[in-house]
Structure 1
Amino acid sequence: MTLLPRNNSLNTLSEEKTSAGNQLFPVFLKLNELHTVVIGAGNVGLEKLTALLKNSPLAKVTVIALKVSTEVYLLATENPTITIREKQFEEDDLDTADLVIAATDDNILNAIIRQAAHDRNLLINVADKPSLCDFYLGSIVQKGDLKIAISTNGKSPTVAKRLKEVLNEGLPEEIDTTLQQLSTLRDSLKGDFTTKVKKLNEVTSVLVKPKQQSEFKNLFRWIIWGTIVASIAIVVSILWSRDADFKSFLQNINPIFYYFLGAGFVFAFIDGAIGMSYGVTSTTFSLSMGIPPATASMGVHLSEILSNGIAGWMHYRMNNINWKLFWLLLIPGIIGAMAGAYLISSLEHYAQYTKPLVSLYTLILGIVIFRKALDLKAKRKSGKIKNIRFLGFGGGFIDAVGGGGWGSIVLSSLIAGGRNPRFSLGTVKLSRFFIALMSSLTFIAMLNGAHWESVAGLVLGSALASPIAARISNKISTKAIMMSVAVIVVLISLKSIINFVLKVI
């Protein structure tokens, strides 16, 4: 027998390659066509079983354990592909298995299971024992047919979990629609493989043309900023030509201006961070300072022209806009807002009666915000809201009548329906800019004007806060802010309602 000379340098290089980096080979298994045996039915077994079913609802799984938890039984009841065998593990239980998962807290038993699996040339995962595993159950990101597996080579499940959260937030739900459309296109193509690849490259090349994207971004920037400047110029011109109180305000600034300047900054900062509550907080504050409901709503919407224009632009630059959703909300929202502004302005002379009704509305919104703060981690609904146009119309109308509620109603409904929070926030803020502009023009046409110190304070304060709030929207304790806002709104609204009742009595 002739022995080949050993090449020490190549051997050393091979050892270095195998000792460094993640050597795992990622695969995706059709668990519905394989038989997986899970030994253990406690908390760990439940975790493994849930992971299997979440990624493969039709997975064929046999669970073997002396004691089976109630939660595992419930899963078996809901999934007919799961079989439970309440018994002591025996090596023969693996005779029909394709994959094995040991999920017991008995190290000796786990070692026996592992040896039995290897005797049958089966791959095994041993819970919380990376060194004993032939494969790992990694963190999974799924958007429809798109599935991404994350592995840290068993080093840090926490890092894998954080990466999963980042990808879940960063990948839009609409990416699955893109996959379906590309699949349909691929099936319709004719010709050889090379021809199909060329055609698919042509279709998808638009996704990687930075020049066109940059040109569109510049155009859209001029549209937004041009609209902001034009709208401010139009509003100021109208007010200057017809309102003596406005001229007087500009010449002699009332100290109350500074109160509303600070309030506008704080309220816009909160709204930009959590996507809601600017209208309800500003209206509640305005009512408590003696401002009539219609004028309070006008102040809110005038201030939102600039603040939402800036915030909308910032979200656009950060690619936080869902354009399909934007157009579905915009037109109905404008119509609803103008109708609501017309209605509440017509009732301005009856402010002593409409004020407690608006306070009741803000009280309800405060309670809604508080409940949403408590339910932030609750499971979202699987089905998205279908009638977006009706949601936009209703949100715009109620927002104009009550001086706020667009974020609380529209944004929260979108998120509760399963839409991406970041993209929903950016879309709602940008559409809000155009809706605030049209409702403001309606208010100016209907009202004679007054209390310009409060309106100007809100406008400037909210404009200063908007760019800051947009940047920290993902870095702030949403729950703490929402609960604080809710408590303040509820207390002030109750005070206003109680004062009205005492006057009547």
Structure 2
Amino acid sequence: MPRNNSLSTLSDEKAAGGNQLFPVFLKLNDLHTVLIGAGNVGLEKLTALLNNSPLAKVTIIALKVSTEVYLLATAYSTVTIHEKLFEEQDLDGADIVVAATNDSVLNILIREAAHERKLLINVADKPSLCDFYLGSIVQKGDLKIAISTNGKSPTVAKRLKEVLNEGLPEEIDTTLQQLSTLRNTLKGDFTDKVKKLNEVTSVLVKSKPHSKFKSLFRWIIWGTIVASIAIVVSILWFRNPEFKNYVEGINPIFYYFLGAGFVFAFIDGAIGMSYGVTSTTFSLSMGIPPATASMGVHLSEIMSNGIAGWMHYRMNNINWKLFWLLLIPGIIGAMTGAYLISSLEHYAQYTKPVVSLYTLILGIVIFRKALDLKAKRSSAKIKNIRFLGLGGGFIDAVGGGGWGSIVLSSLIAGGRNPRFSLGTVKLSRFFIALMSSLTFIAMLNGAHWEAVAGLVIGSALASPIAARISNKISTKAIMISVSVIVILISLRSIINFVLKVI
């Protein structure tokens, strides 16, 4: 008896805390699911059921059925809809019940009717009424991972789903198929088979083979940053005599661009875009020619994006496959664009309104994206990443900005994970800015170096802070404010040009 009492006490202690849910995977294709409710919540539940079990037999009971539910249901022959009030006998013959109504009293009645029939039920947004939860699902072919937070935070479950979706390679399903084939060919008893399979799969839990490459890559990034700083300082020292006299009296425009660079880089690091367009717009308003303005933006972005890219690298926010697809085409496009706009430097009075028109368009694009932040992303990912990088790099160099607005927004709109897209775009931007800057330096004799120095130092100071808060800041108000400022300044520049021509 004392021993039994001890075991009982130990069991009670274990049950006192932690996630007590028992995970299972149901064969919904062999079961009958009754879904009550066909509004937005009902659509979410139905989508989850059918995405995981396309042949699931689902009966929908609802007095009002949304158009989206109708469209989804018509694509599956195993889904039926009954537009009617719920009655207890609707659960006769059911195996699983899902209540997705916004009527708390009705949800309780449905739960009682389900329990009378010994049926398990899920009640949307009411963990206390649920017998089971519909967790976030990560699927790669035959591999399926369910995530549960014990009903505490579905948002955390969704974020973990995004991380796992990006972290698990698509080839994992091929590995599963190969291991299945291998298992069927193994001979011997159960112990021998397990030993052999453990040997084959041990590589999955060993240290990543490219860890040495990442360590080398880290030194390459920092070495390039240091070298870039040395290049910029050397150019300032030898090409502009006034730089030597900065200790005695720095041109006030340096401080203007120092503050502007800090603000613009802080915004860019937080929302992943707008540094180029805001900096170029500001530079043009201060009388800087388009090519020189673009050179200043890209020189400053060497350090700011190097630091930001490094921070995202440390936080594991990089999709390496996407990085390499963007990098080479982006560099080619950026160097081509830098060469073209530099060749037209003597016609700055004509190219300035063209660039202002471009920044005006980008301002409108940013404003529209701010209003559509909650819009659903497309389920189809962009396939031609190389062309996106080529076009984004070229337009960015010609217009002094747009890499984030074009490339990052396109990736996110195409269904890419926002956090990994942001980190990857920032890191690739570092190398693209470096190569385009070298092209600008080779083409231009140099001027307005105090403005360039301000942008370089200001953006560098803001980058580490901005990368840290990239997942915490509310973006809508910032994007709207940025877009309005860009639009107004661009319009001012265009209007002034038109008035001069008239």
Tell me if the contact between 2:335 and 2:397 (Cα under 8 Å) persists in the aligned partners. Answer: yes
1:193 matched residue in structure 2: 194
Q: What code does the residue aligned with 2:196 have?
A: T
| Correspondence 1:59 to 2:56 | yes
Q: Given the alignment, which residue of 416, 422, 426 partners 1:425?
A: 422
2:273 matched residue in structure 1: 276
Q: What code does the residue aligned with 2:449 have?
A: W
Q: Distance in 1 between matches of 2:34 and 2:177?
A: 37
Q: What code does the residue aligned with 1:291 have?
A: I
| Correspondence 1:177 to 2:170 | yes
Output aligned runs, 1:205-216, within 5 Å: 205-207=206-208, 213=211, 215-216=212-213
Q: What code does the residue aligned with 1:69 have?
A: V
Q: Distance in 2 between matches of 1:322 and 1:107?
A: 43
Q: Distance in 2 between matches of 1:377 and 1:398?
A: 27
Q: Distance in 2 between matches of 1:174 and 1:137?
A: 25
CA drift of 1:143 comes to 4.6
2:314 matched residue in structure 1: 317
Q: Distance in 1 between matches of 2:479 and 2:486?
A: 10
Q: 1:242 to 1:8 in 2, by over 3 A?
A: closer
Q: Distance in 2 between matches of 1:405 and 1:297?
A: 11
2:337 matched residue in structure 1: 340
Output aligned runs, 1:373-384, within 5 Å: 373-384=370-381
SS at match of 1:142: strand
CA drift of 1:37 comes to 2.2
Q: What code does the residue aligned with 1:49 have?
A: L
1:114 matched residue in structure 2: 114
Q: 1:456 to 1:20 in 2, by over 3 A?
A: closer
Q: What code does the residue aligned with 1:171 have?
A: L
Output aligned runs, 1:63-462, within 5 Å: 63-65=60-62, 67-71=63-67, 72-86=69-83, 93-102=90-99, 105=103, 106=106, 109-110=109-110, 113-114=113-114, 116-118=116-118, 122-125=119-122, 133=130, 135-145=131-141, 147-151=144-148, 153=150, 157=151, 159-187=152-180, 189=182, 191=186, 192-207=193-208, 213=211, 215-238=212-235, 240-244=237-241, 252-462=249-459
CA drift of 1:139 comes to 3.0
Give a deviation string over 1:101-125, Cα, whole Å, max 9, x none: 455643684366225522xxx4344
Q: Distance in 2 between matches of 1:69 and 1:177?
A: 36
Q: What code does the residue aligned with 1:110 have?
A: I
Give a deviation string over 1:458-486, Cα, whole Å, max 9, x none: 11111111111111111111111111111
Q: Percent identity?
A: 76
CA drift of 1:246 comes to 5.5
Q: 1:260 to 1:117 in 2, by over 3 A?
A: same
Tell me if the contact between 2:258 and 2:457 (Cα under 8 Å) persists in the aligned partners. Answer: yes
Q: 1:108 to 1:151 in 2, by over 3 A?
A: closer
Q: Distance in 2 between matches of 1:131 and 1:314?
A: 41
Tell me if the contact between 1:380 and 1:418 (Cα under 8 Å) persists in the aligned partners. Answer: yes
In the comparison of the two structures, how many residue pairs are matched?
489
Q: Distance in 2 between matches of 1:226 and 1:5?
A: 68
Q: What code does the residue aligned with 2:319 have?
A: N
Tell me if the contact between 1:384 and 1:417 (Cα under 8 Å) persists in the aligned partners. Answer: yes
Which deviates more from structure 2 when the two are superposed, residues 103-112 or residues 308-317? 103-112
Q: Distance in 2 between matches of 1:149 and 1:110?
A: 26
| Correspondence 1:492 to 2:493 | no
Q: What code does the residue aligned with 2:176 have?
A: S
Q: Distance in 2 between matches of 1:176 and 1:222?
A: 26
SS at match of 1:58: coil
CA drift of 1:354 comes to 0.3
Q: 1:405 to 1:125 in 2, by over 3 A?
A: closer
Which deviates more from structure 2 when the two are superposed, residues 288-297 or residues 192-201? 192-201
Q: What code does the residue aligned with 1:163 have?
A: V
Q: Distance in 2 between matches of 1:128 and 1:390?
A: 43
Give a deviation string over 1:338-390, Cα, whole Å, max 9, x none: 11111111111111000000000000000001111111111111111111111
SS at match of 2:55: coil
Q: What code does the residue aligned with 1:233 have?
A: A
TM-score normalised by L of structure 2: 0.88
Q: What code does the residue aligned with 2:418 have?
A: P
Q: Distance in 2 between matches of 1:174 and 1:99?
A: 33
Tell me if the contact between 1:143 and 1:175 (Cα under 8 Å) persists in the aligned partners. Answer: no
Tell me if the contact between 1:99 and 1:123 (Cα under 8 Å) persists in the aligned partners. Answer: yes
CA drift of 1:287 comes to 0.3
Q: 1:100 to 1:111 in 2, by over 3 A?
A: closer
Runs of 4+ in 1 over 6 A off after TM superposition: 248-251
TM-score normalised by L of structure 1: 0.88
Give a deviation string over 1:128-177, Cα, whole Å, max 9, x none: 665665x3233314254454434455xxx4x3212223313433425141
CA drift of 1:24 comes to 2.7
Q: What code does the residue aligned with 1:70 have?
A: S
Q: Structure 2: where are the runs of 5+ without partners?
A: 187-192
Q: 1:346 to 1:162 in 2, by over 3 A?
A: same
Q: Distance in 1 between matches of 2:314 and 2:88?
A: 60
